[in-house]
Structure 1
Amino acid sequence: MLNKFEIRTCIIVIVALFAFVLTRVLHITISSIYDPSYYLISHTMFELFSIFVSYSIFFHGWLTFQHTHSSQKLNLSLIFFAVGSIDLLHTLSYKGMPFFQSDNTLQVATWFWITGRLIESIGMGYYIVKQKDEEITEKWKNTKIGITILLVLLLIFSILKYEGHFPVLVKEGAGVTNTKIIIEYIISMIHFTTLVIIFRQYLLNRNRNDLTTFTGIIFILIAELVFTLYRNVYDIDNLLGHIFKVLGYFYLFRGIFFPQFRAIFEDKEKAELERQFAEEKLKEQESKVTSSILLAQEEERMRVSQHLHDGVGQSLYNILASLKVLKQLGVDDRIVHQLKHLEELTSQSMDEVKSIAFQLRPNSLDNLGLFSAIRIHIQRYESKFGIRVELEFSGKKQRYSPEIETELYRIFQEALNNAAKYAETEKIIVRIINNINSVELQIIDEGKGFNIHEYNDSKWQKGIGLYSMKERASLLKGTLEIESIENVGTKIKVVIPI
């Protein structure tokens, strides 16, 4: 069962063969309405298109060699470089063109033509038959290009210089000679053999590009047959042959050049997707590592805080109680004075231990929840820094998961510390908004602010404070935004889904 692409190819080939037959049947009618005065410009345009295709294939193979190092693609590009160069000389030396004109112009242009077709047929056959590819070095590439250029120049020189020694291919008014017909048939046989090989390859791998190339060679084969029929270089058969050749090169362009050109963009897109995937995996790993570090840090803080509170704090409390008992025994005044001094030092040490334990992990966060922990921290903060903090709640108060409460508390704690260090503010607003699907934390100061663009571009924009706040928010699939205006203040907004 043929697929759509195969059916379409069959239709194109049938139409091409039908067009060839139709032009033979209606040859006299077509010739009667054909105006040869437009032939030269038509011939030039058709040939320039073929030359464009040839050089496109060459430049693609040349420019992409540094990535592919493919001997097969380089060989194909050099084949079409030779074909395009010979066809260019054929176009420039054609009868009526202002280049290379002489008494033998017709023979020169025809020999350029037949040479290009021989290189084309043999080269395409070689490319199709030699499927094995291998990597070659830059030096060997340059050697191949140099040899190809020398051979092309040698052929051009030989045709221009010694054309008179070559067999006559066309006689004006009489048409092509037997020599040209035989050469065209040889070229046709080579193309036919190439067609058979391409078709067998397609049956094995079902590569659509092979079928497109197959179609191109069908048109070129028809063109070669037409070129055995014309009697004058300006007659309708010559024009029809060039039309079939242009159609053939159009399909060669689609079957050879376009897939390779498209492969570059596909490889680039694939590499970009792989890069994005690698970045996402890296971010995921970074997130996991950061999460593990923060979790371990929080667990260690909890352990140390509990140890300070239950261990060191309790010991200091026992010492303080013992000192009070000793002081009540009514011993010497100097001893009482020293005991009182020790009592004050112990009391201060207990306050410091409590403060450290609170900073590490406030018991209120675990026992009473986020709102109470924030309120208690604000009281200590105002007492320590003399900065007034207004606390606002919106929505229903509730307990969140331990992870959300811990990370929001740490973000709140870090934001207040930053404000005390850098903002030079007298007032801070802490706002907690409890939405249906998220909780929002806002910390707004009325300090000196900063230029957010300069901050983003500066070396220190990933300072540990703001960076850790962003990381904590991202760990909970949330967002953290910073808005700041110089001499107005700064706003930090955190939204965490619940």
Structure 2
Amino acid sequence: MLSTILVYMSLLFQVLAAAIAISLFKRTKFNASWILISTGFILMVVSRIFELFPTIYPEWEEELAVVQKCLAFVISLVLLIGVFYIRKIFQFMRRLDEIRRETENKVLSAVIRTEERERQRFAKELHDGLGPLLSVVKMLLSGLSGDAKPEVNEKIKQNLKQAVDEAIISVRDISANISPHILNNFGLKDAVDSFIKKLRSAKALDISFTTNIGNRRFGYNVEVIMYRVICELINNTLRHAEADKIRIELKLTDEIIYLTYTDNGIGFDVSRQATKYGMGLDNMQYRLKSGNGGIEIMSERGKGMQAKAFIKL
């Protein structure tokens, strides 16, 4: 009686093992070695079932014994071959680890490059914008004197006030570039509109911006990521593309923000120059992937550039 119970329990365990092995087919990409091992488990279940037959059909005991031996041989052979080829699974896992490390290294390099570029840009703006104004303020202050004529001191004070006003404006511009107050206070649409208006007033550039998001607000990360990507795409066009037309479309569909950006510039070879094109495709991909999004850039020499990006809410 006890032996029969143990046989039934072992049969149950082997059925469970076979079911689990089969359920892992997709995860192992239908690897041949795993299929062989799973087949071995299935054959073991079949063998265990044949062990129960003599209790039901005693007259078949000799024939079933032969079948059992044949099954044992096949099971051993299948498991041996499966174990021999299972190393392919470990090779596959090792390759996945290598790809993951390479991706992490690329992302880290992209982050470092972006941070360094932002630091350099910030330092340049301080040096070229605020530095000269502060030098002028210092020079004007040194010119003030109690022995000078009142009209001379008054002129110096006027110039000093003008220089301080310009320094305040410069600080505001630098602050807006680092963290645009319009984006924080009014949202993505108004921030992009404001950025484009500044460009239109400074450059002879035809920029079209259409969107259906209205005044809807999104999460902080979503707004910052999409705003930075749009600004970088525009800056890259201004620096490299020699374009006079830019088209920007921002659409909200099924809780996903889609960006379509095109220019009529000189274009470039994406496979060769993506990482050199401004902040680089890797950096933009990192920004968007950090927000559950992505970007694809398409371009050919002489045919402009198109970028399609999305970010999920």
* TM-score bin, normalised by smaller chain: 0.5 to 0.7
Match of 2:228 in 1: 410
Q: Distance in 2 between matches of 1:365 and 1:293?
A: 25
Of the candidates 65, 88, 92, which is equivalent to residue 268 of structure 1?
Answer: 88
Give the distance between the partners of 1:272 and 1:470, measured in 2 at CA. 26
Structure-2 separation of matches of 1:365 and 1:482: 25
Residue 47 of structure 2 aligns with which residue? 5
Closer, same or farther: CA 17–265 of 1 in aligned 2, 3 Å: closer
Letter of the 1:259 counterpart: L
Q: Which has the higher helix share?
A: 1
| TM-aligned CA distance change 1:292 to 1:482, over 3 Å | closer
Give the equivalent residue in structure 2 for 1:365: 183
| Superposed displacement of residue 285, structure 1 | 9.9
User: Does residue 346 of structure 1 match 2:164?
Assistant: yes
How many pairs align? 247
Deviation of 1:389 after TM superposition, in Å, equals 1.6
CA distance in 1, matches of 2:271, 2:247: 24
Q: Which amino acid in 2 is paired with 1:15? A: E
Q: Could you say if the C-alpha distance between residues 436 and 281 of structure 1 is closer, same or farther in structure 2, counting changes exceeding 3 Å? A: same
Partner of 2:63: 15
Equivalent of 1:355, from 160, 173, 198?
A: 173
TM-score normalised according to structure 1 size? 0.41
Question: Which SS does the other structure have where 1:491 is aligned?
Answer: strand
- Give the Cα–Cα distance (whole angstroms) in 2 for the partners of residues 402 and 17 of structure 1: 72
Aligned to 2:204: 386
- Structure 2 partner of 1:440: 258
Q: In structure 1, how many angstroms separate the alpha carbons of the residues matched to 2:253 and 2:163?
A: 48
299, 302, 306: which one aligns with 1:487? 302
Equivalent AA in structure 1 for residue 303 of structure 2: V
Change (3 A) 1:6 1:463: farther
C-alpha deviation, 1:332, in angstroms: 4.3
Deviations 1:50-91 (A, max 9, x none): xxxxxxxxxxxxxxxxxxxxxxxxxxxxxxxxxxxxxxxxxx
Identity rate, percent: 21
Unmatched 5+ residue regions in structure 2?
12-45, 55-59
3-state SS of 1:471 partner = helix
The alignment partner of 2:226 has SS state of helix
- 1:6 aligned partner, one-letter code: R
Report the CA distance between 1:251 and its aligned residue. 7.4
Q: Aligned equivalents of 1:454 and 1:278: distance in 2?
A: 23
- CA gap of 1:470–1:409, structure 2 versus 1, over 3 A, is same
Does the 8 Å contact 1:414/1:465 carry over to 2? no
TM-superposed CA distance for 1:415, in Å, is 0.9
The amino acid that maps onto 1:401 is G
Q: CA deviation at 1:493?
A: 1.5
Matched letter for residue 489 of structure 1: G
SS at match of 2:307: strand
CA deviation after TM superposition for structure 1 residue 358, in Å: 1.3
Partner of 1:425, secondary structure, is coil
SS at match of 1:398: coil
Query: Which whole-Å CA distance do the structure 1 matches of 2:172 and 2:81 have between them?
Result: 71
Change (3 A) 1:14 1:379: same
**In structure 1, what is the equivalent of residue 57 of structure 2?**
none
Q: Distance in 1 between matches of 2:191 and 2:176?
A: 10
Shift of 1:441: 1.9
Aligned to 1:448, what secondary structure does the other structure show?
Answer: coil
**Partner deviation per Cα, 1:329-352 (whole Å, 9 max, x = no partner):** xx5444444444444433433332
| Compared CA separation, residues 383 and 395, structure 1 to 2 (3 A) | closer
Judged with a 3 Å threshold, the aligned counterparts in structure 2 of structure 1 residues 437 and 285 are, in CA distance, closer, same or farther, namely farther
For the 8 Å contact 1:441–1:495, the answer to whether it is kept is yes
Deviations 1:243-288 (A, max 9, x none): xxxxxxx975x4555433221332312442464367558868987x
Which one-letter code corresponds to 1:497 in the other structure? K
Alignment counterpart, residue 470 of structure 1, candidates 274, 277, 285: 285
Which aligned pairs between 1:47-446 and structure 2 lie closer than 5 A? 215=69, 254=74, 257-273=77-93, 275-276=95-96, 332-446=150-264
Output the TM-score relative to the length of structure 2. 0.62
**Counterpart Cα distance in 2 of 1:426 and 1:274:** 49
Distance 1:393 1:282 in 2: 37
Distance 2:199 2:61 in 1: 86
Deviation at 1:436, TM superposition (A): 2.9
Residues 1:366 and 1:293: Cα distance change in structure 2 (over 3 Å)? farther
Q: Deviations over 1:342-398 (max 9, x none)?
A: 444334333322221111111111111111111111122233443232111125440
Give, in whole Å, the separation in 2 of the partners of 1:436 and 1:7.
53
Q: 1:463 to 1:269 in 2, by over 3 A?
A: farther
Name the CA distance, whole Å, in 1 between partners of 2:300 and 2:105: 35
SS at match of 2:170: helix
2:236 and 2:61 map into 1 onto residues whose CA distance is 77
* Corresponding letter in the other structure for 1:494: A
Question: RCO greater where, 1 or 2, for CA within 8 Å and sep 6 or more?
Answer: 2
* Uncovered stretches (5+) of structure 1, i.e. residues with no partner: 19-210, 217-249
Aligned residue for 2:208, secondary structure, equals strand
Native 8 Å contact 2:189 2:213 kept in 1: no
